[in-house]
Every structure is written in structure tokens, then in C-alpha cells.
């Protein structure tokens, strides 16, 4: 059907379900372990990609969390993007031209 599972997952590309092509923008997923990690992560937003950050590893350190969020707010402002909290430990930073609609869609 979709091919045999390898190491706990199915490679959809090998199964012919998904073809990878270059994109204008990627959604990058990152886990932040310390403030210094931002130096590498910020590049992705400046390159025009969306970044979903998980700061769970530093969530016990309120000063570190505040530093990280403030830095990412500056990045979002610099690129004329947006930043929004998904939950207590996850944030999404968007590049130029992408804004987050904060209204929840209701399907009922």
C-alpha cells in the first residue's frame, strides 16, 4: 500500500506519495536549549522561513525565557514578520509578508 515501515516510519517519498520540490518558504521546527541557540535559528527567519520554536528545555528559567522571547520579538519586527505563542512553551515566528490571524477558526 504505502510501502514497508522503516525504523518506525513510512517514507512517503519512496512510496510515491510525496515528491519533494524546492519551496519559497519552509516551516522550520527548532528546540531551544539555551539563549545562544538563537544565533543559528535567527538565520532561518531572515532567509524568509517560518520558525516554530519549542523552549521547553529552558522553561524553568524565567529570565532565559524572557531573553529568548524578547530577542525573537526583535527579529519578527526587523523582518516585518510576526510572532505568536502557540502555547506556554512554543512560539511561531513568521517572515516578511506572513502575519498570524489570532482568531481561532470554529468548525461547529
Quote the pLDDT of residue 21.
75
Contacts of 14 (CB under 8 A, 6+ apart): 3
Question: pLDDT, tens digit, for every residue of 64-103?
Answer: 999 999 999 999 999 999 999 999 999 999 999 999 998 8
| Partner residues linked to 27 by β-bridges | 50
Cell numbers of 87, please?
502555547
pLDDT above 90 (res 7): no
Residue position matching grid coordinates 522550520:
28
Query: How far, in Å, CA of 78 to CA of 39, rounded?
Result: 15
- Is pLDDT at 17 greater than 70 in this prediction? no
Q: Tell me which fold the domain 27-94 belongs to.
A: Translation Initiation Factor IF3 (3.30.110)
Average pLDDT score over the chain: 88
Strands lying side by side in the sheet with 50-54: 27-31, 50-54, 90-94, 82-87
CB 92 within 8 A of CB 69: no
Amino acid at each position: 500500500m504505502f510501502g514497508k515501515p522503516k525504523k518506525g516510519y513510512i517514507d512517503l517519498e519512496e512510496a510515491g506519495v510525496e515528491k519533494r520540490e524546492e519551496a519559497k518558504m519552509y516551516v522550520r521546527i527548532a528546540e531551544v536549549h539555551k539563549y545562544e541557540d538563537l544565533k543559528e535559528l535567527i538565520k532561518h527567519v531572515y532567509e524568509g522561513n517560518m520558525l516554530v520554536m519549542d523552549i521547553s528545555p529552558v522553561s524553568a528559567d524565567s529570565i532565559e525565557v524572557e531573553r529568548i522571547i524578547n530577542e525573537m520579538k526583535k527579529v519578527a519586527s526587523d523582518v516585518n514578520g510576526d510572532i505568536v505563542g502557540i502555547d506556554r512553551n512554543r512560539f511561531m515566528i513568521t517572515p516578511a509578508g506572513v502575519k498570524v490571524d489570532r482568531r481561532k477558526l470554529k468548525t461547529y
